[in-house]
Structure 1
Amino acid sequence: MRPDLADSYGQHRLPRYTSYPTAPHFSASVCESDYQTWLKSLDAQQSASIYVHVPFCRKMCWYCGCHTSVTKRQEPIAIYAAGLRTEAYLVAETVGRRQPISHIHFGGGTPTIMTPETFADLVGSLRHSFAVLPDAEIAVEIDPRTLSEPMAEALGFCGVNRASLGIQSFDPVVQHGINRLQSFGQTATSVDRLRRAGVGRINFDLLYGLPLQTVASCLDTVAKCLELHPDRLSAFGYAHIPSFKKHQRKIDASSLADSVTRHLQAETIAGALVDAGYVRVGVDHFALPNDNLALARQEGRLRRNFQGYTDDCADVLIGLGASAIGRMQQGFAANAVSTKDYLARISQDRLAIAKGYLLTDDDRFHAEIIERIMCDFAVDLSEISRRYGRDPRLAVVDHSRLGSLIADGVVAIDDGRLTVARGAEFLARCVASVFDAHLLRSGATHSQAV
């Protein structure tokens, strides 16, 4: 525990570095013709990943920072799913063949808000448009409050082999404060249904820093989670940005913890999970020792993408759906955010891209440094600089912040290798920001560093 560091750096607003450059730097200068060129240039021998965004929920959770909306009807969901099937076809037609796929991730929103039949049709379309590999990981984000037994069976039938269940907190006081009432029984029933259906890999998603949350309630939530034996857990800090998500205004800001208390909650969760036998992966993920994520960390293969930490080694991510972001070798492609705009593009047989970013060699240079800091808490600046033909001294963008981090014992640099100090890993985002060439000229609002 380093509460002094949490107090010094915790209030800084910084990106989560799930991409570099981050989404606020995307622009409409990258257009459909660019994306078409990128898709046509994909290597037929290299597998890609797919992210599918489903922007619908039955009820709005006040903490939510995702692109989603509330609907009680199935009709708009069915129309949207038809758009996803069309987009998959359009992308495959542009590629010119069935690109091999090693990972598919359904996010949201609540992907399982679809009927079992609609979901099965969508997965069938993906398998028709792309060559989904036999050992591909197919993951789905799930709201345990709405998962029915027929839907769980459909997931198993469609080959889903990993499920991420949103939990956040089991404390009823906290649940009332975020408008998400979810009992332990509902969660346990969902886990049982998934495992009986053959969805054997289970992830739990937790949050700390929520309104009225305490260290004791964090510990109680972890204890309940352990009863269900998940393979992985994530523990993210709640990002309170009501200017970006208006429904967050329903949360009383005075009920939120300061950075020191947030740090204590995070480290309490981490300590309990490590004591229970989980391996700490990066800043906020935990996995059983035999889980692929833990093995990737151990073997130096850990990566960072829009879902957080991953063992997915594919360099290409195809984004499908409203607000989905894809990553090609050349840069990022972001779809139209609103469902209306997305479907309008698809209905015209157009790719749904609305903006993007063309990567430069300088971006790739800084991106690799930042990813290694976020994944390994260390980076060989000399080695990466040599490969890019750069002077290692030019890697640093914010010399003032680096100086402070060194003086405070957060990092050390020896013979061109930067290492984050033991106990200061929670400040990885602060360390990574030292190498962010875009941050100082960005007007974007980010989440707290701790």
Structure 2
Amino acid sequence: MPDGKSMGMGSHLIQRERTRGASSRSDSTQKSSSIARPTSVHAKYYDARLPWYTIYPTVPEFSPAVGAKAYEKWLKGLPPEDAVSLYLHVPFCRSMCWYCGFPTSITRRDASILNYLAVLREEIRLVAEQAPQALPVSDVHFGGGTPTIMPPAEFLALMEFLRSRFTFKNTASVAVEIDPRTFTTEMAEALETAEVNRASLGVQSFDPIVQKVINRVQSEAQVTAAVENLRKHGVSRINFDLMYGLPHQTVQSCVQSATTALAMRPDRLAVFGYAHVPSYRKNQRLIDETALPDVAARAEQAAAVANTLVAAGYCPIGLDHFALPDDELALAQRAGRLRRNSLGYSADTCQTVIGFGASAIGRLGGGYVQNEVAQSSYSRQIAAGHLGTSRGYRLTNDDRVRAAIIERLMCDLEANVPAICAAYGLDPTPFLNSAERLGMLAENGIVHIEKGLIRVRQEHRFLMRVVAAAFDAYLDRSPY
């Protein structure tokens, strides 16, 4: 479960490394035609309870000390010529998936959705009024929940309202998350009218046994119909989400699900490991823990799916994404400009992300802000004429350097620490010295270190979070 996304939207990191590591990077992310089978080293580190490093510092470091006042100041200070990304969180679904780790509400009626959309539009108005002018937009993402369960006319009205408050670039990417079980032709037509050009479909697994025990039963025919409907209406860029580590999953069923997905030829796939945290998410208590695969089985499943996708011509992107060679992610990876945000990997280069909706997270030059998580609290705050911010984080220079190092490791499997530090005018020695676990990781063959250039070995790509964690100043410093 990506940190940040479980609470809404994370954001993009500010500065890219323009160094030897980016311009003449090793081909470690490209050369391997397969992912190595798990070893004893994987077993030692694979299930470490670590952040997914979609943002840094991660959400637990956020504080009420950074709230609406800071957000207002940061909005007013945005450069009017710099493009921004927008994230809109629509936390509603028609039924509860028992594996879900996101804050959602289950509703069979549209009334609660319509009320929420009215609040969302008011927040958009409040935020736009703080900005110096109608900011240019290059990227929009509708997440949830299931954004496409709103009435099609409401989706069109919301897009029209956004366009009235912001200036959309002609090349703007507009993406939406979709549940194939509730997707209609009317919504496909609305997406076409609204100029949506990318859709992300939640698939998870095609295994009927697995689907039943996670309360997400959807047929291959439903997914196929949704994909065909999207392509027919001009939404040509298709993403799939798959999962491993679910109850009753096996290596064979994971590979079969991946093979079924490949027949529909999505442009990219995200392959996430199920995170079982029933103490945090009550719906996960409905999952039979005894049916969950163990650490070794999870690692086998992840490697098997990865090998299946790579063999079909998809490029491995960072930790858990796979893309066709001509997809934006693959192109960005080859150019050394791949980014990491709470939705996963991204080719979007915006330095500013503005989040709308309950729990949404934004990123501006000064740091992160997050809206009230509870819909009721969020709605009351907006109704009172205040920004929905409840907490945030003010970035230090140390945070920015560590964030840049972690992002490059997560995106490129390597980071040139001296070059990154030089971009901030800092000495790399303290950062390398504080990463005490690097020596142990090098001894175990997970990384190769030479003059501050850290490379994660291709066969250990699934352990890149362990390497990134060595630069996390907020983690418990005890050994793994």
Question: What TM-score, normalized to structure 2?
Answer: 0.91
- What secondary structure, in the 3-state scheme, does the structure 1 residue paired with 2:463 have? helix
C-alpha displacement of 1:397: 6.8
Match in the other structure for 1:137: 173
Conserved? CA contact 1:397–1:434, under 8 Å: no
Match in the other structure for 1:430: 466
C-alpha displacement of 1:441: 7.6
Conserved? CA contact 2:92–2:144, under 8 Å: yes
Aligned-partner residue type, residue 117 of structure 1: A
Q: Distance in 2 between matches of 1:255 and 1:13?
A: 20
C-alpha displacement of 1:364: 0.3
Q: Distance in 2 between matches of 1:399 and 1:155?
A: 47
Aligned-partner residue type, residue 276 of structure 2: H
Q: Distance in 1 between matches of 2:329 and 2:157?
A: 30
- The answer to whether residue 217 in structure 2 is matched with residue 175 in structure 1 is no
Q: When the two structures are aligned, how many residues end up with a matched partner?
A: 443
Q: Distance in 2 between matches of 1:294 and 1:79?
A: 40
C-alpha displacement of 1:60: 0.4
Between 1 and 2, higher relative CO (CA 8 Å, sep ≥ 6) is seen in 2
- The answer to whether residue 18 in structure 2 is matched with residue 18 in structure 1 is no
C-alpha displacement of 1:222: 1.0
The one of 123, 127, 142 aligned to 1:91: 127
- The answer to whether residue 401 in structure 2 is matched with residue 343 in structure 1 is no
Conserved? CA contact 1:203–1:230, under 8 Å: yes
Aligned-partner residue type, residue 241 of structure 2: D
Q: Distance in 1 between matches of 2:337 and 2:435?
A: 29
Aligned-partner residue type, residue 214 of structure 2: I
C-alpha displacement of 1:383: 1.1
Conserved? CA contact 1:397–1:437, under 8 Å: no
Q: Distance in 2 between matches of 1:2 and 1:217?
A: 18
Q: Distance in 2 between matches of 1:36 and 1:130?
A: 17
The one of 355, 361, 370 aligned to 2:406: 370
For residues 356-435 of structure 1, the aligned pairs below 5 Å read 356-396=392-432, 399-435=435-471
The one of 20, 27, 52 aligned to 2:88: 52
For residues 26-105 of structure 1, the aligned pairs below 5 Å read 26-105=62-141
- The superposition leaves residues 142-201 of structure 1 with CA deviations (integer Å, 9 ceiling, x where unpaired) of 000000110111011101000000000000111111110010000011111111111111
Aligned-partner residue type, residue 175 of structure 1: Q
Q: Distance in 2 between matches of 1:316 and 1:95?
A: 12
C-alpha displacement of 1:392: 2.1
Conserved? CA contact 2:38–2:300, under 8 Å: no
Match in the other structure for 1:229: 265
Match in the other structure for 1:184: 220
Conserved? CA contact 2:269–2:322, under 8 Å: yes
- The answer to whether residue 42 in structure 2 is matched with residue 3 in structure 1 is no
C-alpha displacement of 1:400: 4.5
Q: Could you list the runs of 5+ residues in structure 2 that have no partner in the other structure?
A: 1-36
Conserved? CA contact 1:412–1:418, under 8 Å: yes
Conserved? CA contact 2:456–2:464, under 8 Å: yes
Conserved? CA contact 1:412–1:421, under 8 Å: yes
Aligned-partner residue type, residue 418 of structure 1: I
Conserved? CA contact 2:432–2:452, under 8 Å: no
Percent identical residues: 50
Q: Distance in 1 between matches of 2:458 and 2:170?
A: 40
Aligned-partner residue type, residue 337 of structure 2: R
- What secondary structure, in the 3-state scheme, does the structure 2 residue paired with 1:269 have? helix
Match in the other structure for 1:266: 302
Q: Distance in 1 between matches of 2:308 and 2:403?
A: 32
- What secondary structure, in the 3-state scheme, does the structure 2 residue paired with 1:323 have? coil
- What secondary structure, in the 3-state scheme, does the structure 1 residue paired with 2:459 have? coil
Match in the other structure for 2:20: none
Question: What TM-score, normalized to structure 1?
Answer: 0.96
Q: Distance in 1 between matches of 2:335 and 2:467?
A: 22
- What secondary structure, in the 3-state scheme, does the structure 1 residue paired with 2:359 have? coil
Conserved? CA contact 2:238–2:266, under 8 Å: yes
C-alpha displacement of 1:398: 5.8
- The superposition leaves residues 107-128 of structure 1 with CA deviations (integer Å, 9 ceiling, x where unpaired) of 0000001000111111111111
Aligned-partner residue type, residue 294 of structure 1: A
